[in-house]
């Protein structure tokens, strides 16, 4: 039996991402975006602003993942695929979609970011294990792919992360009942593979800045499956 785990749930988030804290974070985010737009690096900008606002490490991580310069936003949004992908193949950044959905099912913190994506604060650190929410997360993905009318889905999981192969196998097993072709692989350089493809499903900032086109499927899934999810909304600083 998979272990019962609340993926991404941190009790202190209730305070660090309360409505009052989010108001402070949005103010800090405006300062960070100001610096990013003038060529300052993200780490330097967040360290400077984070020190000024006395932010925690987790709040700083949230701003690092949510904020973006105007140029970066243009690059990402110009590649976003909003049209039909009927009868096409989706190329899916596996961990990048499974983990946020596991976190949503666990009631953990998820960010709404400036580029419209959903990002988490979990961090893999080279380790992953299947939990009691994994199968439902995979089924949620399957229902979304079916709704999109895609002919096939290819999942790529970062092979340096533990249990990448096990998760790939579980994806193949759970999605075998759906009316589309499914492949799932453990791949050493997922970002490089996806950067050259179209119809990429990912929220990774590097991947969606360089791939040919990408789909914001995690956001779509949560809008359909858990429409009232209490995101930490940093989409509009």
Identify the pLDDT of residue 1: 60
- Tell me the C-alpha distance between 19 and 232, whole Å: 9
Note the pLDDT tens digit of each residue in 185-230: 999 999 999 998 999 999 999 999 999 999 999 999 999 999 999 9
Note the pLDDT tens digit of each residue in 21-79: 999 999 999 999 999 999 999 999 999 999 999 999 999 999 999 999 999 999 999 99
Report the 10 Å Cβ neighbour count for 188. 10
Mean pLDDT taken over the chain? 96
Domain regions of the chain by residue span: 13-67, 89-233
Structure pTM?
0.95
CB contact set of 80 (below 8 Å; sequence gap of 6+):
116, 208, 213, 214, 215, 216
Identify the pLDDT of residue 126: 83
| Cβ proximity of 22 and 114 under 8 Å | no
Note the pLDDT tens digit of each residue in 122-149: 877 789 999 999 999 999 999 999 999 9
Identify the pLDDT of residue 110: 98
Thinking of the domain 89-233, which architecture would CATH place it in?
3-Layer(aba) Sandwich (3.40)
């Amino acid at each position: 039996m998979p272990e019962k785990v609340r993926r991404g749930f941190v009790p202190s988030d209730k305070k660090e991402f309360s409505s009052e804290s989010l108001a402070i974070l949005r103010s800090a985010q405006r300062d960070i975006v100001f610096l990013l737009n003038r060529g300052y690096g993200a780490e330097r900008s967040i360290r400077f602003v984070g020190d000024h606002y006395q932010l925690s490490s987790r709040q700083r991580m949230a701003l690092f993942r949510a904020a973006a310069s105007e140029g970066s936003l243009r690059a990402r949004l110009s590649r976003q695929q909003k049209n039909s992908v009927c009868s096409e193949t989706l190329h899916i950044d596996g961990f990048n979609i499974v983990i946020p959905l596991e976190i949503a099912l666990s009631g953990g913190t998820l960010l709404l970011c400036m580029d419209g994506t959903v990002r988490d604060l979990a961090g893999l650190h080279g380790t992953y294990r299947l939990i009691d929410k994994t199968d439902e997360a995979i089924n949620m993905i399957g229902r979304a792919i079916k709704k999109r009318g895609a002919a096939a889905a290819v999942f790529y999981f970062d092979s340096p992360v533990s249990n990448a192969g096990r998760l790939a196998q579980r994806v193949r097993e759970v999605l075998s009942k759906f009316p589309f072709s499914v492949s799932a692989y453990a791949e050493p350089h997922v970002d490089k593979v996806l950067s050259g493809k179209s119809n990429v499903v990912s929220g990774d900032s590097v991947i969606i800045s360089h791939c040919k086109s990408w789909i914001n499927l995690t956001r779509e899934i949560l809008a359909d499956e858990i429409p009232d999810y209490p995101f930490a909304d940093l989409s509009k600083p």
